[in-house]
Amino acid sequence: MKIKALDNILRPKIYVPLILAAFLGAIPSVTSNSYVIHLLIIILFHAVLSESWNILAGFAGQFSLGHAAFFGVSAYTSTLLFISWKTTPWLGMFIGAGFAVASSLLIGFLCFRLRGPFFSLVTIAFGEVLRLLFLNWGSLTGGPVGLLVPLMGDSPINFQFLSRKPYFYIIFIMMLAVTCVTYKIRSSQIGLYFIAIREDEDAAQSLGIDIIRYKLIALAVSIFFTAIAGTFYAQYLLFLHPDSAMSLNFSVEIALPAIVGGMGTICGPLMGSFILTPISEFIRALLGGGYAGVYLIIHGGILILTVLSAPSGILEKIMKSYEAALKKMPGG
């Protein structure tokens, strides 16, 4: 067994991703450039969100355009618990995730019995209703002014650090966790059920697959990782506003990396995040606040080009060159 495990590790398909992950994890240790670390944090943050969305939409075929609502529920829950009850955000993260998952399952239970775009439409409506509710509930959420997270200094128990490096490693671990879960799903029987539902619900049901049950499982896993990223967002930026944390635009931002990179794949959302996020950050830094929404126009242009040139995502084209390179490496 040990020899077989060693042989597997020595295969390029195993050790090359491990080397790349190790290289990425080592970057904050070899650079003191705060902006580079911040950019990596934002890239990994979007990778976590897009990979989470991909579990539901890419594998199970259920398109949500309201993931930002569940993200916001968790972010506000953990923050309000922190402000009002001094609850550590590490605990608030899971309480918020519980609320987000419960609300998503309620919506899914009602919508998954219907066919067509009903689930997508309901998630849009739910997100907008929740955004407007939080925007006008000033006594609780800060309303249009926003909600400031109390600054506690360098306080690990309160999920706050003076350096950006701890934030990097937290979101890096989250990214590895959601990627590993996606890999396990993809190589499991549940993953096959998800794909069967995505391809043909009637055929899946005729084979005895409980389509509502497995849609709800996909939804719960997807929202859980989206929700814990919400708490990370609140503690990293130390500020929440419904228009940024719960908007339809943000829901679209969550979905775009997976669509551009390749839906229903493991690495597609990661690749999409490493392409789209730096472009967004560069455009925002270049144009400032005078041209709000320009980055979305550019994202739209990239999406159109991707659909025209690589309907399955750019990962499919890159993987051909990648696999050819792996065969030339030791162990290939």
Q: Which two tokens stand for residue 132?
A: 């407007």
pLDDT at 286: 75
pLDDT at 24: 93
pLDDT at 19: 85
What are the backbone angles phi and psi of residue 240, rounded to the nearest 5°? -130, 140
pLDDT at 6: 45
> CA 279, CA 298: separation in Å to the nearest integer?
9
pLDDT at 230: 98
CA distances from 86 to 6, 77, 79, 124, 240 (A): 48, 12, 9, 33, 17
**DSSP state letters, 134-187:** HHH-HHHH-GGG-EEPPP-SSBGGGTB-SSSHHHHHHHHHHHHHHHHHHHHHHT
Tell me, what amino acid is at 131? R
Check: CB of residue 254 under 8 Å from CB of residue 296.
no
The listed CATH number (2.40.330, 1.10.3470, 2.60.120, 3.90.550) that belongs to domain 2-327: 1.10.3470
The pLDDT profile of the chain, 332 residues, written as one tens digit per residue, is: 444 544 455 566 666 778 888 999 999 999 889 999 999 999 999 999 999 999 999 999 999 999 999 999 999 999 999 999 999 999 999 999 999 999 999 999 999 988 888 999 999 999 999 999 999 999 999 999 999 999 999 999 999 999 999 999 999 999 999 999 999 999 999 999 999 999 999 999 999 999 999 999 999 999 999 999 999 999 999 999 999 999 999 999 999 999 999 999 999 999 999 999 998 888 777 776 556 667 677 777 877 887 777 777 887 777 777 666 656 666 55
> CA 85, CA 182: separation in Å to the nearest integer?
35
Alpha helix ranges (H) inside 86-137: 89-111, 118-136
Q: Which two tokens stand for residue 311?
A: 């309907």
